[in-house]
Amino acid sequence: MKIVAIIFWVVFIAACLSLVPEPLGLWVNILGVLLLLMHLIEFLVFKNKIIAKGDEPPKAFLMTMLFGVFYFHF
């Protein structure tokens, strides 16, 4: 599932650079921003559990922003 997340973020970056045709690029941008907000909220809510996993806080934050729940549950 992490591979799917990486592919999505690559497409999101491409859409931000206007390399994805509209209207798909618009939808990818909207979904990406919503996903970033959800992952930020997820990190704030589960911060102690995520950091207890043993990683440094900056790495834990980055991984949570990239993979969300797949980072600290799997």
Nearest Cα to Cα of residue 43 among 27, 55, 28: 55
Give residue-wise pLDDT tens across range 12-68: 999 999 999 999 999 999 999 999 999 999 999 988 888 888 888 899 899 989 998
Burial class (CB in 10 A: 0-12, 13-18, 19+), 35: middle
Q: What are phi and psi of 21, to 5 degrees?
A: -65, 150
Overall pTM surpassing 0.85 (yes/no):
no
**28-38: per-residue pLDDT in tens?**
999 999 999 99
Q: How many CA atoms lie within 13 A of 59 on its CB side?
A: 7
| pLDDT, the chain, mean | 90
Write out the two tokens for 11: 């497409």
